[in-house]
Amino acid sequence: MQRQRPAGVTLIGALEIIVGLIFLFAGIALFAGISVFTSKELGLDSNSFEYKLLAGPLGYVIAGAMLALGIAAVIIGIGLLKGKQWAWKTAVALAFISIASDIITMVIQSKTSSPVGSTIGIIIDGIILYYLYRPHVKVYFGKSAEPTPL
């Protein structure tokens, strides 16, 4: 018997793939653009934080991390669409990590910036967690037996 994918899983999987593609393109653009960003013609001061960040090895590390995150996000999105248990576990873990990082960001930046972005992130990740733990979603990922109607 074929399991039917819940609509929310389709949405989360598709968004994960889209975010992954954005990270992939951004990583490629950063790799390609580091020499442009650090050229004298662009006008970045060689003493500026941006120049030092991009011109050194850290610029390539950031670009490589963006590529790796992009590839991982696309794979996770495909796994979610196919109902793979590892994708469910990874999506849950990443949502918890994202909530924790948003809370840390709110605490660290409490005096310098608005907590609106972090608050929205916490709400979105909370909704994703709630949804991924719904009984019919867990059934789709093979995490529990088919729920019996009351």
Q: Domain ranges in the chain?
A: 1-83, 84-140
- pLDDT computed for residue 33 by the predictor: 81
- pLDDT computed for residue 3 by the predictor: 77
- When the pLDDT of each residue in the chain is averaged and rounded to a whole number, the result is 87
Among 70, 63, 82, CA closest to 16: 70
Structure token pair of residue 78: 């495909």
CA atoms within 13 A on the CB side of 131: 17
Contact 41, 109 (CB under 8 A): no
- pLDDT computed for residue 12 by the predictor: 96
44-97, pLDDT tens digit by residue? 677 777 777 777 788 889 899 999 999 999 999 999 999 999 999 999 999 999
Contact 145, 139 (CB under 8 A): yes
What is the pTM assigned to this prediction? 0.80
The alpha carbon of 148 is separated from its chain's Cα centroid by a whole number of angstroms, namely 34
Does the pLDDT at position 148 exceed 60? Answer: no
Does the pLDDT at position 128 exceed 60? Answer: yes
